[in-house]
């Protein structure tokens, strides 16, 4: 399904009647509040090029801000960004600190238990980035080729979780685990690689392509590795109207070809995205 809904039966089982009425009343009008004040407050961690990052003037730019700007224009509102570390975004959303989560968020069954995903805007698949002179990982990396090496990865991210899953595979095969250096930003993962504290960076292929472009001749990718996932933003589960309003605008952009044009401009690739049934099974 394109967004996570809670039936009235499930809600009734979770909350007393009085609490349910209060909860719905308190949160059902987020879309109306946004339109009334003319501003949508969006949390973002602008350290994840090409999805979201800052330019030389410290403006927030990238694929997600471009799509978000188009959505906001269609809704007739302005965007007010709240910058924060990626690890704080989901807790902040659930604490009602802002309206929408606007950083690139991998769609997972586990997160779908807590969040309501908006329809996806892109897809991600990860890979290993190494120094140009590094020979321990073949051109097409395998999980086994990473055994015993040290990886720099963004904390609380999907790539970090995938590396932990790789370690389970390596353990089952009697191979040495990957040592993880978990940091707060892509820049910090690259710094760990360049200073040789890490053997490789593990991240989205589009992110790695941007890093390679910024460091010509110094770095190389070792190909796709691990599962692919859809990327989407999220709202709170009870913000059904807000979720649908944003999803509808993204679907309209997909139909017109505007979404594909923004993908190509920011990510260097374009691909078809689903309109429903994109949350993976548990």
Q: Which helix (H) or strand (E) holds 173?
A: none
Q: Encode pLDDT of 58-113 as tens digits.
A: 999 999 999 999 999 999 999 999 999 999 999 999 999 999 999 999 999 999 99
What is the predicted pLDDT for the residue at 271? 81
Predicted confidence (pLDDT) at residue 268 exceeds the cutoff of 60? yes
Burial call 145-174: b when 16+ CB within 10 Å, e when fewer: bbbebbbbbbbebbbbebbeebbeebeeee
Cα-to-chain-centroid distance, residue 270: 17
Could you tell me the pLDDT band of residue 209, with boundaries at 50, 70 and 90?
confident
Query: Is the CATH code 3.40.190.10 the one for domain 8-123+230-267?
Result: yes
Give the torsion through C-alpha atoms of 56, 58, 63, 68, to 10 deg: -150
Structure tokens at 200: 């490789």
Domain 8-123+230-267 identical in fold to domain 125-228: yes
The domain limits of the chain are 8-123+230-267, 125-228
What is the predicted pLDDT for the residue at 9? 33
What is the predicted pLDDT for the residue at 55? 96
Rounded CA separation 166/177 (Å): 8
Taking all residues of the chain, what is their mean pLDDT, rounded to a whole number? Answer: 89
Question: Which fold would CATH assign to domain 125-228?
Answer: D-Maltodextrin-Binding Protein; domain 2 (3.40.190)
Could you tell me the pLDDT band of residue 250, with boundaries at 50, 70 and 90?
very high
Could you tell me the pLDDT band of residue 24, with boundaries at 50, 70 and 90?
very low
Lowest average pLDDT, out of 31-35, 126-130, 213-217, goes to 213-217
Which pTM does this prediction carry? 0.65
Could you tell me the pLDDT band of residue 205, with boundaries at 50, 70 and 90?
confident
Rounded CA separation 193/133 (Å): 12
């Amino acid at each position: 399904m394109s967004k996570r809904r809670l039936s009235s039966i499930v809600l009734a089982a979770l909350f007393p009647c009085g609490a349910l009425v209060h909860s719905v009343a308190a949160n059902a009008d987020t879309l109306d509040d946004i339109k009334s004040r003319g501003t949508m407050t969006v949390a973002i961690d602008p350290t994840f090029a090409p999805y979201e990052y800052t330019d030389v003037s410290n403006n927030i730019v990238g694929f997600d801000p471009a799509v978000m700007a188009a959505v906001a224009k269609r809704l007739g509102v302005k965007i007010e960004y709240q910058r924060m570390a990626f690890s704080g975004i989901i807790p902040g959303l659930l604490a009602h600190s802002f309206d929408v989560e606007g950083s690139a968020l991998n769609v997972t069954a586990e997160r779908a238990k807590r969040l309501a995903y908006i329809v996806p805007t892109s897809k991600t698949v990860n890979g290993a980035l190494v120094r140009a002179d590094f020979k321990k990982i073949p051109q097409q990396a395998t999980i086994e080729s990473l055994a015993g090496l040290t990886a720099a990865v963004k904390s609380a991210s999907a790539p970090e979780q995938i590396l932990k899953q790789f370690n389970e595979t390596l353990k089952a095969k009697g191979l040495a685990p990957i040592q993880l250096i978990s940091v707060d930003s892509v820049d910090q993962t690259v710094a760990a690689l360049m200073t040789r504290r890490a053997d490789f960076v593990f991240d989205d292929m589009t992110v790695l392509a941007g890093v390679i472009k910024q460091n010509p001749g110094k770095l190389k990718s070792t190909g796709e590795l691990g599962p692919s996932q859809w990327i989407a933003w999220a709202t709170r589960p009870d913000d059904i109207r807000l979720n649908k309003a944003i999803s509808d605008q993204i679907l309209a952009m997909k139909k017109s070809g505007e979404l594909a044009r923004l993908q190509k401009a920011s990510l260097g690739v374009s691909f078809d995205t689903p309109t429903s049934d994109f949350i993976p099974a548990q």
